[in-house]
Amino acid sequence: MKKRIAFVIYSLNSGGAERVVSTLANGLSNYFEITIITLTNIKPFYPLDEKINVINCLDNINPSKNFLESLITNYKLYRQIRLIAKDLSIDLLIGFMTNTNILTVLAANKLKIPVLISERINPDFSTLPKFWGIMRKLTYPHANYLIIQTEPIKRYFEKFVKKNKLIILPNPISSVHKVCKEKVILPSKENIVLSVGRLSNQKGHDVAIKAFSKVNPNNWQLHIVGEGPKRKEYEDLISKLQMTEKIKLIGRNNNISNYYLKSKIFIFPSRFEGFPNALTEAMYMGLPCISTDCPTGPSELINNGQNGFLISVDDVESLSNNLEKLIYDSQSRLILGENAVVSVKHLEEEKVVNQWSKLILSSLN
């Protein structure tokens, strides 16, 4: 009989962590009975295998007006996670994201079942309210394993979690992209420079917009796929630079593979990362990539000049120079793209799911 595993995450909306949970759940559903417990009820954005059970704790979560209200809401969530896991006889819980991790560890410890937690952010660049910072230090050491993506993030957590409980596991590249790459009829390449990510300060799309407008190549467009709070600001910037015909804010898109397949260049102007999902996907899809050497992730994927270009954070000049080189040199594009594919093969879904499966089994034993 298959062991019962439950992921716990805030929602299954669009986003990096949500995509990773969906990909892992799909892959692991071949070995375990999988449930995804979401804190709030939002329709899953990424495709899920029909074998996977999705249950939400609350229909919706209203912003708390004060600390007491926040405490009450989080106690309700902790209680619901615990009750759902108990009712379904869950054998192991897997938390994703800081606040959810804390609630998941508390629920698992109460039920006396193993628990894995996964941090998706770079803690050096994210501020936690004092209460949650204390709770993280108190609860994280009680997880069986804390999964992180990079060495610098591991060093941060070594301050309060035992080294043997810290595991570096990369994010998997969804097999959806592999299937799309193997289509009989692939979309023909267009003169598109692509960037993917939330329209937020972290993702640095303002740098991409300025760099592209500096090059301003004939018959090329910059497409930015993603949604977020900076949309209006970016629309104004594009308008001010008189680039409305050439720079398109695409919004959210379910079929991101097609954008990778039809574009010729990928740029990743992030100011900081936990692990750069969009960059690994673009490399896997054979795109020549220009990425900032931001903390953390890109420098672990890109060997500058070999399988992509690394530039300094916020360096518009360097981005426009490298962009110009790739736009007007198809041979460089081809070589960088081919090398990129080879360098991220180890991140294919099957291989990463296998690593997770081994970790789950060792925790269950």
Phi, psi (degrees; rounded to nearest 5) at 37: -95, 115
- The residue whose two tokens read 């990510």 is 197
The Cα–Cα gap between 283 and 302 comes to 9
pLDDT bucket at 184, cuts 50 / 70 / 90: low
| Residue pLDDT, tens place only, 247-256 | 999 998 878 8
- What's the mean pLDDT in 273-301? 94
**Maximum average pLDDT range among 47-51, 110-114, 186-190:** 110-114
pLDDT bucket at 50, cuts 50 / 70 / 90: very high
Higher pLDDT, 363 or 14: 363
Residue 93 has pLDDT above 90, yes or no: yes
Average pLDDT of the chain to the nearest whole number: 94
Please tell me what DSSP assigns to residue 63: P
Per the structure block, which two tokens stand in for 191?
Answer: 């003169």
53 bridge partner residues = 35
- The residue whose two tokens read 């640095």 is 204
Give the burial class of 104: count Cβ atoms within 10 A of its Cβ; 0-12 exposed, 13-18 middle, 19 or more buried: buried
| Residue pLDDT, tens place only, 216-270 | 999 999 999 999 999 999 999 999 999 999 999 999 887 888 999 999 999 999 9
CA neighbours closer than 13 Å in the CB half-sphere of residue 362: 11
pLDDT bucket at 123, cuts 50 / 70 / 90: confident
pLDDT bucket at 195, cuts 50 / 70 / 90: very high
- What's the mean pLDDT in 28-56? 95
Q: What's the confidence (pLDDT) of residue 328?
A: 96
Q: What's the confidence (pLDDT) of residue 239?
A: 97
Whether the Cβ atoms of residue 49 and residue 19 lie closer than 8 Å to each other: no
Q: What's the confidence (pLDDT) of residue 3?
A: 97
Residue 5 has pLDDT above 70, yes or no: yes
Closest CA to 55 of 26, 75, 35, 73: 35
What global pTM score does this model have?
0.85
Q: What's the confidence (pLDDT) of residue 32?
A: 97
- What's the mean pLDDT in 40-61? 93
- Domains, the chain, with CATH or none: 4-172+348-364 (3.40.50.2000), 175-347 (3.40.50.2000)
Amino acid 349 reads E
CB neighbours of residue 76 within 10 Å = 14
Residue 125 has pLDDT above 90, yes or no: no
Q: What's the confidence (pLDDT) of residue 181?
A: 75
- Alpha carbon distances (Å) from 354 to 4, 27, 31, 163, 165: 17, 9, 10, 22, 19
pLDDT bucket at 357, cuts 50 / 70 / 90: very high
Residues 6 or more apart from 333 whose CB is under 8 A from it?
Answer: 264, 265, 288, 326
| Residue pLDDT, tens place only, 132-155 | 999 999 999 999 999 998 888 999
pLDDT bucket at 207, cuts 50 / 70 / 90: very high
DSSP string, 153-184: HHHHHTTTS-GGGEEE-PPPBPHHHHHHHT-S
Q: Percent of the chain having pLDDT more than 90?
A: 82
Whether the Cβ atoms of residue 259 and residue 223 lie closer than 8 Å to each other: yes
The Cα–Cα gap between 255 and 273 comes to 23
The helix (run of H) or strand (run of E) holding residue 57 is strand 53-58
- What's the mean pLDDT in 99-103? 97
- DSSP reduced 3-state for 113: coil
